[in-house]
């Protein structure tokens, strides 16, 4: 029996969705000390705005670039203080779409590295695939270069699988960013439960 055709959300052309044109620097939510957005205890920043509009998105409200509140220095200070707790493993960037909110994400990531060096890891989810990001704008490539783990690819309702580790659909991958950049190919996270 042939597999049912999967209709993909709009695919951006390289450089088409620029943060400087789209991002309003709004935050949908901030969740400190959670266990679901990556390995260990995490502080998770949900940015507002996403053009992928995946059917069945678990955070559809955050697709709106006007949703939530403006990112502030006070919120950043709170996130950094929370990250300073010894039991917190790292920061997670979600959305919305972090890679069309690079002004906010880079500001926070740079502040994290300035304060903690590389003692805290950084995870990010994105609707972009690795190959799409490799063709993207300098700000997106800069953000990618500063994170440790990337969950890539659009959520596909037809491939939804709630048994997957840190993913919503089976097309998504958990990528070790630094190893992938060094080896110039996608290297999956070595703690991935298959």
Domain ranges of the chain: 19-183
Distances in Å between the alpha carbon of 65 and those of 22, 72, 122? Answer: 7, 16, 23
pLDDT of residue 68: 97
Provide the 3-class DSSP secondary structure of residue 9. Answer: coil
Of 32, 48, 150, the residue nearest 97 (C-alpha): 48
> What is the Cα 19 distance to its own chain's centre?
14
pLDDT of residue 193: 58
Please list the ranges in the chain whose pLDDT falls under 50.
1-6, 8
pLDDT of residue 4: 47
pLDDT of residue 41: 98
Q: What is the DSSP letter of 160?
A: B
pLDDT of residue 151: 98
Q: Residue 186 corresponds to which tokens in the numbers above?
A: 């996608």
Phi, psi dihedrals of residue 18, rounded to the nearest 5°:
-95, 135
Phi, psi dihedrals of residue 27, rounded to the nearest 5°:
-115, 125
Write out the H or E segment, with its range, that includes residue 91.
strand 88-94
Q: Note the pTM of the prediction, 2 decimals.
A: 0.92
CA distance 192 to 63: 28
Q: Domain 19-183 falls in which CATH fold? A: TIM Barrel (3.20.20)
pLDDT of residue 194: 54
Radius of gyration of the chain (CA): 16
pLDDT of residue 3: 42
């Amino acid at each position: 029996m042939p597999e049912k055709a999967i209709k993909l959300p709009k695919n951006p052309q390289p450089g088409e969705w620029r943060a400087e044109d789209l991002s309003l620097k709004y935050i949908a939510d901030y969740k400190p000390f959670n266990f679901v957005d990556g390995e260990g205890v995490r502080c998770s920043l949900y940015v507002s705005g996403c053009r992928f509009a995946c059917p069945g998105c678990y955070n559809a409200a955050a697709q709106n670039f006007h949703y939530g509140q403006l990112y502030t220095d006070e919120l950043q200070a709170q996130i950094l203080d929370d990250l300073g707790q010894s039991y917190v493993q790292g920061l997670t960037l979600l959305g919305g779409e972090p890679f069309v909110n690079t002004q906010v994400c880079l500001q926070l990531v740079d502040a994290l590295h300035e304060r903690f060096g590389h003692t805290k890891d950084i995870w990010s989810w994105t609707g972009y695939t690795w190959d799409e990001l490799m063709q993207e704008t300098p700000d997106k490539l800069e953000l990618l270069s500063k994170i440790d783990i990337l969950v890539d690819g659009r959520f596909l309702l037809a491939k939804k699988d709630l048994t997957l580790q840190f993913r919503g659909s089976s097309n998504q991958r958990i990528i070790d960013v630094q190893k992938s950049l060094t080896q110039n190919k996608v290297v999956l996270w070595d703690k991935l439960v298959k």
